[in-house]
Chains A and B, each alone.
Chain A
């Protein structure tokens, strides 16, 4: 079984409530702290209102109001956010994450393989530790 977290904070930016809820539950079960947002805008608002910065951002791409690409552009433009690693959960295969902003993100494909997701998160947390 893949190693879990050691209380690191993960931001989940995901518009689908079911996926969001089960991911929160899963990550919490695996020893992470989680803050969840329904879209990119909400995440940026959370940042503005002083939500603690995460170790990793788990980002969905296709979301209403502010999608993953736009969030990523804002993130890269914000000095306090730009170095936080991003794991993109995409439903669309490799073709949709092609863009300059998405050049340095990790990718997990939907439907998400939990082991793969946990391994990726652990890798980034370890790198930042």
Chain B
């Protein structure tokens, strides 16, 4: 390091006096207790300028108050400060022990500064800054510099102390700023020690919990955590503390009034410069509304699922009531309104069954037809939902029908109440009542909206169920009509048919003698045939109307299906011949068993008629076979066959193969065949390929029913 340049040695001003005086003056400045680093530094600079002339400055890179880290250096242009600081940082890097021999240096190498000399400020064996003297007019002499070095010995530790104080102040400042911020924040804010025990909680924390800091400090705060959430939260916290990871958990914290609210807890570790965890700073943000809104949506979703799960709306409404307790209500009641305005209490739910019993008794004692404006009846009348955040005694007095009733109502301990209508298409079908009592909770506008939505959905579900019931009723009426109509039709048909048959018989006797009557006879026989066909259709209608209600009963008696098949083959021979077909009977076994002969005959008749109708000109095969337990009757043809899509539905009511040309009949024949087979615990099946024919197989167990 170069020593002072010759010009610096010029112009020594001895007026600054002996060094001892200077030292005492400096120590006086530094010992002013209330001074800050900036303040003391400025005084030091002023004092130096007074004593040495020119200008003085301090460079204190560890001090944080001055952005440029220069104090009192007005004479050093801003534009040069950074350059000077760089040079200084290079020459006397902080934290590096200064060479034992005190050295001063000049900075004229920094362009534009002119004469400038400096002495290092040393403390605790290291350089923490530089004091300058400078100015064109006042180049410093060696003596001056020696004086300055002597002052610097004192100035070093003094300013160092101030720097340390400032650092402390800075820390405290940060602390203060943190506290101020923490107190202003809307969240619960707390800090903990390394072990996780609370050492600070903001005012909001204390206000929220209604505790003193003493109660809340350490691990006292965990007592306010909901018992259900505590284990998970503890585990999470323990894991964060041991691993140094960010803590994040949702849990309920008890408020001063006993209500638990959901919070999102977060805590981050506070680390030292070296990275060691010194403690934690945490916040808890109230997410109760969001969280409950999520829960509400879940509740709504579950309820909706229940509502569509069945058309029995009384059942589904009871399910909804059950779902609402205990999260959404301590009490839930479902009332249905009859067409005359009467109220039926469908369901009351409470976690305690004895209370439910009591509520029903209460309802019987004081039926809901009260004039109270706080009852389900009122909601039924107006169709408007309402909620009472607080059920006051005044409300109870207004709702009560008499003193005894009031006493009962008081015993319920109602806190908060919501009643929403179950309505659809402008009709109020019922009401849902939700109440908080024991849990001391209170409904909010948000809860009310959820309840209203639930009421709407339940109303629609009820309406759907009723529409379905109506539709079912209409179907019942139709089938009853079919049943009555077919019966009523049969009486005139019987008369018509008997008359035609009798006429036919008379004419048959007379015709040989009177050839003219032959033509009439043909007409009458044709009319008789149509009357018979009409009778068959009416029979079918009647059968179907009964089958729909599962009323097909059979009267099994011992019989021989082989005999029946022989009779039928004979009976249908003419009909088959008329369309160019033939019926081949194949007997391959015993046909004895216990069946309803009329019904089996009906089934075979339908199958044979179909074969004749749909496979004209093709041979038809009727076969009977079987084993010990079962008889198998097969009617097969080689006609057009039935497409696969038709095969699926051909045994259903009013279905007819679509590819079979002109529709004829009502599509009931095969439906009846299936019903007859099933009534005998048997079955009917079909194998068919288009253009290859159809094979119907009727399988009937032999052994009665």
Contacts and interface: CB of A to CB of B under 8 A. Distances in A.
Contacts of B508: 1
Given A29-B505, A94-B598, A16 B498 contact: no
Contacts of B506: 29
A5 to B, nearest CB: 14
B487 A92 contact: yes
Contact of B495 (A18, A113, A114): A18
Interface in B478-533: 487, 490-499, 501-502, 505-506, 508, 531-532
A63 B599 CA distance: 25
B494 A110 contact: yes
Given A91-B491, A95-B546, A95-B551, A22 B539 contact: no
Contacts of B539: 93, 109
A1 B490 CA distance: 25
A110 B493 contact: yes
Interface in A15-30: 16, 18-19, 22-23, 25-26, 29
A112 to B, nearest CB: 6
Interface in A46-62: 62
A8 B451 CA distance: 82
A36 interface: no
A98 interface: yes
A107 interface: yes
A29 B502 contact: yes
Given A1-B505, A94-B598, A111 B542 contact: no
Nearest to A115: B501
Given A1-B508, A98-B553, A91 B490 contact: yes
A81 B598 CA distance: 27
Given A111-B490, A111-B531, A95 B499 contact: no
Task: Label chain B's interface by main secondary structure.
Answer: helix
28 contacts: A1-B508, A16-B495, A18-B495, A18-B499, A19-B494, A22-B495, A25-B502, A26-B498, A26-B501, A26-B502, A26-B505, A29-B505, A29-B506, A62-B487, A92-B487, A92-B542, A93-B543, A94-B554, A94-B596, A94-B598, A95-B553, A110-B493, A110-B494, A111-B498, A111-B531, A112-B497, A113-B501, A114-B502
B491 A16 contact: yes
B497 A111 contact: yes
9 nearest A-B residue pairs (beta carbon) = A111-B497, A111-B535, A18-B495, A91-B490, A114-B501, A110-B494, A22-B498, A111-B494, A94-B598
Contact of A114 (B490, B492, B505, B554): B505
Nearest to A110: B494
Given A22-B495, A25-B502, 14 more contacts: A16-B491, A16-B495, A18-B495, A19-B495, A26-B502, A29-B502, A29-B506, A93-B542, A93-B543, A111-B490, A111-B493, A111-B498, A112-B494, A112-B497
Interface string B551-565: 111110000000000
Nearest to A107: B598
Given A98-B553, A98-B555, A23 B498 contact: yes
A23 B553 CA distance: 30
Interface in B553-607: 553-555, 596, 598-599
A22 B505 CA distance: 13
Interface string A63-77: 000000000000000
Interface of B: 487, 490-499, 501-502, 505-506, 508, 531-532, 535, 539, 542-543, 546, 551-555, 596, 598-599
Contacts of A112: 494, 497-498, 501
A8 to B, nearest CB: 18
Interface residues of A, number: 25
Contacts of A94: 554-555, 596, 598-599
B440 to A, nearest CB: 65
Contacts of A95: 546, 551-553
A91 B596 CA distance: 17
Interface string A95-121: 101100000000101111110000000
A97 B552 CA distance: 12
A1 B509 CA distance: 10
A62 B491 CA distance: 11
A23 B499 CA distance: 9
Nearest to B491: A16
A91 B555 contact: no
Contacts of B501: 26, 112-114
A19 B490 CA distance: 11
A109 B542 CA distance: 13
B594 to A, nearest CB: 14
A29 B501 CA distance: 12
Contacts of A26: 498, 501-502, 505
B499 A22 contact: yes
Given A94-B598, A98-B553, A110 B502 contact: no
A87 B552 CA distance: 22
Interface hub of B495, B501, B508 (most chain A Cβ within 10 A): B495
Contacts of B535: 110-111
B606 to A, nearest CB: 14
A20 B216 CA distance: 103
A80 B559 CA distance: 31
Interface hub of A29, A92, A111 (most chain B Cβ within 10 A): A111
A113 B542 CA distance: 19
A19 B491 contact: yes
Nearest to B535: A111
A1 B512 CA distance: 15
A101 to B, nearest CB: 13
Contacts of A111: 490, 493-494, 496-498, 531-532, 535
A114 B542 CA distance: 22
Contacts of B551: 95
Contacts of B546: 93, 95
A26 B502 CA distance: 6
B554 A91 contact: no
Interface hub of A1, A93, A97 (most chain B Cβ within 10 A): A93
Contacts of A113: 501, 532
A19 B499 CA distance: 8
A19 B498 contact: yes
B586 to A, nearest CB: 27
A95 B672 CA distance: 14
Interface hub of A1, A18, A110 (most chain B Cβ within 10 A): A110
Nearest to A30: B505
A42 to B, nearest CB: 18
Contacts of B543: 93
